[in-house]
Chains A and B, each alone.
Chain A
Amino acid sequence: MSKDIALGKQNKDLKWVGRAVKRIDGPDKVTGEQKYMTDYHYDNMVWGRVLRSEYPHARIKSIDTSKAKDLEGVVCVLTYEDIPGFNGFGVVTPDQPVLAENVVRYMGDAVALVGAESDEIAEEALGLIEVDYEPLEAVTDPEKAMVEGAPQLHPDGNLHSEAVIQNGDVEEGFEEADFIFENTFYSPRQMHAFIETEGGWGIEEEDGLLTIQCPSQHGHRDKMQIARALALNPERIRVYSSPNGGGFGGKDEITVQIYLALLAINTGGRPVKLHLSREESVQAGLKRHPFKVTAKTGAKKDGTIVAHKVRAVADTGAYASLGGAVVALGVEHAAGPYYIPNIDLQGYCVYTNNGIASAFRGFGVNQVSVAIETHIDMLAEKANLCPIEIRKKNAYRQNEKSSLGNIVKSSVGTIETLEAAEQTDLWINRESYKADVKEPWKKRGVAIATSHHSVGMGIGTPDYGASSIELLEDGRFKVGLAIEEIGTGNGTVYAQVAAECLNCDIDDVIVIQGDTGETLDSGTISASRASYTGGRAIATAAPNMTQLLSEQAAELLNVDASQIVVGERKLHIYGDEAQSVTYKQIYDHLISQGKSTRVEGHFYFPREKEIKNSEGAPHYLYGYMTHVVMVEVDTLTGQTDVLKVIGIPDCGKVLNPQGLEGQVEGGAVMGIGYTLYEDVVMKDGYYETKSFTDYIIPTIRETPDIKTIAVESDESSGPFGAKGIAEVVMIPIISAIKAAINDAVGVRVKKLPATPERIHKLILEKEESRRLASGS
């Protein structure tokens, strides 16, 4: 079997890949049989609880745990003094204390841990821990945080990181422009709102092995972070991290794993459970970065964009986590999927005493794409050009330069997605759709937007895939791939790729994910990378398995390995199917000779040459997407309904159409939530939004008709030609809804979410200025 299979050259006659194969975890999920980590139960358990900060910013003068320790039923009370190793964690910069020592920097800071015989006793014990705080001035506005004299939250100041990409001469660009657009956009603090809050189990086994069962987006990395805090040999820690009840980036960082580990080594071997309530998850959990994006765009009358300048300021909250990377990715994508000759893109990641912001589906791109897309729409209006035409005119193609100055070598589907949008019934007949309103105070609008999103980690971060394939006694294959199942269905894609490459039935493939004891580290489930990376890893391992099988079959059949053909559940001699051996026979043969039945496959993600000061740009690979949406605005109230969404992704070859639809629909609903409803409101460092009572996520009644039209550009580096899609599916819809609101009622929202109150205010302001202009 040649390497070509992995590289998308043999797309004909595929049996599993590209087909709507049912989710391998589907039956368990729909029947409720699926066990998530917190669904497990162990006898003789201990309940864990976390004491959180009472202030957004305060000095800790003392912590007295004696009363809590004296409470009957309390097993242990732990503070920073009980941490055997390094008191800190964080994927990139480990600046977040496991347990606060001298200072708390946000309302979610953990100060102490309690282990007790019951959850109620643990809760009572939290109330008995006496922490003497000296409240300090809270820094809650990132712009003010950067001003000299602001209280410094970390030794290196409040500016955590910056990323800058410049190309051409942006001022010259503005000089040659016919039109210039300049606006500032604000984005909300979106919450992942996964159905499964952070939680799990920690168990110290009799032999000292530490087992952590906790949903996560990178169990192998959790293992290293736990080991660092506990001063343990990482090889003595086993992390089970799959399946997740949703992640979206919110479980990319350590959540409660280290608390579980600390409690587990202090309970004399009793299993410890900890499971955050929704309220505690809101208080302590990660969020999306609120951005302030000031953008200036210059364009010619014919629609050519000649200059784009962006200054993005991101509120990363109390600790770094992945904030620096989020801002860098935002900067990399700030000019959109276009070639703009003159750019000046700057991003600043700033510490405040607000809740921590980190990874979240889109990773900084959602916030910045709104600026370029809105300016293109304003250009369309001003220059009287079609918004699709302008985008097509400025979009870069494969093997052309992007705004960053590099040649994009991987596949680029922007123009194809725009052409598909142009051909949709909704776009062609938009005027008649818009006219079809039932009540005169309702106005409809139809609009499009397009965006891109990188696939993979980018330069400077390890990015690798690794898979094992083991032949089992019953002739089936066990595929080990650490990348967790977080609801996206990547496990099903792995089974499809394995069945395709091994020429076997999908039921003969068992996929093991998220178990550090049984799988090789293959990086995170994030960065839209799971299908591509995992697919490539399996497609690299599979030929090794085929070779192993063929060699053994050749030995058993007494022919040269080149004469062996892989058939259905057996291998036979070329041209003579009767001369065959089963997988079971091969297994027995291997075992009898004391040989391994397991092979591995490793690969590294392709990379580009880094742009100076960009903190990781450009990426080798991007997914592209166009959305067409129709909204209806009630002008009496300002309430907006999204009625229709058409998602047009270019994710390369579609590995599983049903899985892709799932992503497109989920992304659309999450994008609707981001644009119209969701925001964790904070005031002076305190949460005003405390639970799902006031955190408004779309329900089925806010879910419109969503259609998926896939544009399959052939990506030669991908598994069977695939790229990645998980994040871009929620990006253009944000700008498309904004533009459709403008099409409906003539107002441009600059602060999200576009709540009824905000839209209504803009409508009134517009009417007022029209009245003033007409002099009446």
Chain B
Amino acid sequence: MNDALEIEDVWKKFPMRRDRPGFKEFLLNLPKFVNRNYNSNFWALKGVSFKVKQGECLGIIGKNGAGKSTLLSLILGTIYPTKGNIKVSQKITPLLELGAGFHPDLTGRENIIINGVLLGLTKDEVMERMEDIVAFSEIREFIDMPVRTYSSGMYLRLAFSVAINTDPELLLIDEILSVGDEAFQKKSKDALIGLIKEGVTTILASHNMAAIKDICNRVIWLDKGEIRAEGEPEKVVEEYLRCSG
């Protein structure tokens, strides 16, 4: 099996700026601002390395602020590492925030098209899949209404349906297994598991330990920007729960 993803000693820092100063404050403290050390840094990731094979499902667990989302954004490529290398060899489909590209004033159908293209399809390919997407979302009656009129559940259903119908190769998922009501949650989980069985590489960050144990082949435990443990889902999750319990 080839590697889908290779992460090599990745570091990421964020500048910890206080809220932007007012103009007066800025002038008074000018020497301080020029001095770069004034802005202290926060290291969100400190030397993380791992590999993911094609078709593998990797779980990422850790407390809030451990660096899970930063790691996913780095893999996606919307942010750049301060140090280190990230090699991705498959098409990434992000499920970081459902409906991130949706515009409230556009209709469901218009949003499907734009989102589908943003997630890596051509317009023709989206049109071919339109029927599947609408059918999966189960909100056919509302599909030509602006999404601002949707309930939050409908919104998430639609967003999820688009994402999984874009022929993902490498799925990045950030805590979105709780989509909609019970029935749809089950349906979306089944769909995800289906994709994973078909060989879609998946990286899943979640606090839902049951889901992690269910779906993943391997788990990484992130703690304060470092990998604290890695391996069998059962073992790592148990250790994590023991330490944070």
**A and B interact:** no
